[in-house]
Structure 1
């Protein structure tokens, strides 16, 4: 039977956990699939066991690409896709039983992009052991002294599981933890070299094509959310991906392509500083509570804030209410 989907696994924030990600795919995916693994300079101790596990499987392909960003890696695979559907899956996310069929059903109903319900495990802060990370979302715009800024608004953020709706719903955004694309559309979208808000760039492209995106809560993905202690090699990748040489240029590339800055740009840079402090503390053996206190110290010492509005969400309006903004540039780098 021909594969119905190509599943492409890339590192998100870390290297470790790839074996668990692959194991979950095989345990919970009865449909025929191709599995492509983006080897972005994985340590041998991480990638070698996975290679041995998958040796001889015709559906598997490894892309040895060296240290690069996930988006740059996906551009290498993009023109090779020939299945009706494509799933992008981060290696720190875990599919669960019955995850794929509901996504394919929504694709069959004509939707171009389908996101499962993304649940985050308790990680960088305390809370419910499992809670909503992403149900639906939208891109909004808010004016600051006459300049429009974009806001990524996530509905029901961190809502506990019993309170999350169970019905399929339209969404204006998705995230790359796990998302299914129509295969032909995936080959048409641009994959810019971004590490920040790249999913929103793609969301705007899909809207410009007149296609719809939905969340399908019957499909559930668990996302680690940096809760598991990192190895030293994991932090090497995290510091590379979230370093200032990539984060700042990512923001400027989005601005050139769409004409907008993000209201939360400085907050994202501050998030990176806090997360680095958290990860180093955890690597040194600190429990989550102490690591969180270390992030507060880092925030006071190294972070400056830019948040001029008392309620930016309340002052914002849906970006697409006035139509999809024109794409000003097609630069990918």
Structure 2
């Protein structure tokens, strides 16, 4: 048997209905040898059957739980099964392009990077809209004097490069760079770094996990690169299937987001400033854009009704609390 260098760990991001397209893309466009571990966290029955069939046909390892998983929970489950030099975490709504994995590995080998992220686009692949091409993420120290006393504030600095630009417009500006973070849509990690930093933080349920991991690796001396010659695309909904709704609602629940932000803030001892206030103000926005606004348009003949949306938001938040509370209760019963 060949000692493979790379294991792909595919995990749920926010829905299950794009599973087939994403998995077919990986097998169609990946020539570099790899093993695959697929973590299925409570997918609906038709997706579960599809994955079982594909696992048997393609001989990959399928790890199934009958309950939903947060992304870092799923990644840690997959990571535990990895023995190769590199692990590549891939969300289940990502499609890849030819040569993507080869170029990630080449970058890691040539730079000795601990983390390598590809150029990530967003939307339909043919649109070529950049979501991320590297970025900055670190803690800034801000010194202020008040009443003769010096006070140090720790603030989060985060900046995405080339966000929402057309790939065709910035192609000649893109080059391999050392940067400060990569996102988990798709990221190659040198497995040995986990012996220094431990597994991924599962208290970060749905946000800031990429910043947390990148800063932790940087603290341990690991280098982070973006390799734009490797291109993948994150394909968010809509459309969604009805069976996507419970997981999407939990994944982007107010409870999970508030708990994640609180833990991140305390872990890194950072000031609760505009960086966090902006996120508090946007609580529920993903759910409202994915389900609430399309639902309203169905009853208003395709037109937007802000008045009706505002009336429904409190009901949606109540439903969202019920979903997250029920999940916690069921998790407690499972023990």
TM-score calculated relative to the size of structure 1: 0.79
1:202 is aligned to 2:210: no
Query: C-alpha offsets along residues 1-25 of structure 1, whole Å, 9 cap, x if unaligned?
Result: 2222111111111111111111111
Structure label with greater radius of gyration: 2
- Partner of residue 200 from structure 2, selected from 181, 185, 191: 191
| Equivalent in the alignment of 2:190 | 182
Query: C-alpha offsets along residues 132-160 of structure 1, whole Å, 9 cap, x if unaligned?
Result: 10012112548698744313211221111
Cα distance in 2 between the residues matched to 1:293 and 1:264:
30
Question: Tell me, what secondary structure is at the counterpart of 1:218?
Answer: strand
| Equivalent in the alignment of 1:114 | 116
Give me the CA root mean square deviation: 3.0
After superposition, the Cα gap between the structure-2 partners of 1:291 and 1:205, relative to the gap in structure 1 and judged at 3 Å, is farther
More displaced 10-residue stretch of structure 1: 230-239 or 167-176: 230-239
| Equivalent in the alignment of 1:235 | 245
1:238 deviation in Å?
1.3
Cα distance in 2 between the residues matched to 1:43 and 1:295:
33
1:298 deviation in Å?
5.2
CA contact (8 A) 2:39 2:63 kept: yes
More displaced 10-residue stretch of structure 1: 179-188 or 208-217: 179-188
Cα distance in 1 between the residues matched to 2:280 and 2:305:
17
1:278 is aligned to 2:276: no
| Equivalent in the alignment of 1:9 | 10
More displaced 10-residue stretch of structure 1: 173-182 or 240-249: 240-249
1:166 deviation in Å?
3.0
| Equivalent in the alignment of 1:21 | 22
1:24-39 mapped onto 2 (5 Å cutoff): 24-39=25-40
1:225 is aligned to 2:257: no
| Equivalent in the alignment of 1:163 | 169
CA contact (8 A) 2:88 2:187 kept: yes
1:73 deviation in Å?
2.0
1:272 deviation in Å?
4.1
Gapped regions of structure 1 (runs ≥ 5): 304-333
Query: C-alpha offsets along residues 257-282 of structure 1, whole Å, 9 cap, x if unaligned?
Result: 21114633233344342221221146
Q: Flag the structure with higher helix content.
A: 2
After superposition, the Cα gap between the structure-2 partners of 1:114 and 1:302, relative to the gap in structure 1 and judged at 3 Å, is same
1:187 deviation in Å?
5.0
CA contact (8 A) 1:78 1:186 kept: no
| Equivalent in the alignment of 1:130 | 128
CA contact (8 A) 2:254 2:284 kept: no
After superposition, the Cα gap between the structure-2 partners of 1:212 and 1:198, relative to the gap in structure 1 and judged at 3 Å, is same
More displaced 10-residue stretch of structure 1: 138-147 or 77-86: 138-147
Query: C-alpha offsets along residues 37-75 of structure 1, whole Å, 9 cap, x if unaligned?
Result: 111100011221232133143333333362120111222
Query: C-alpha offsets along residues 84-113 of structure 1, whole Å, 9 cap, x if unaligned?
Result: 110100111111111101100011121110
Cα distance in 2 between the residues matched to 1:269 and 1:26:
39
TM-score calculated relative to the size of structure 2: 0.79
Cα distance in 2 between the residues matched to 1:151 and 1:299:
33
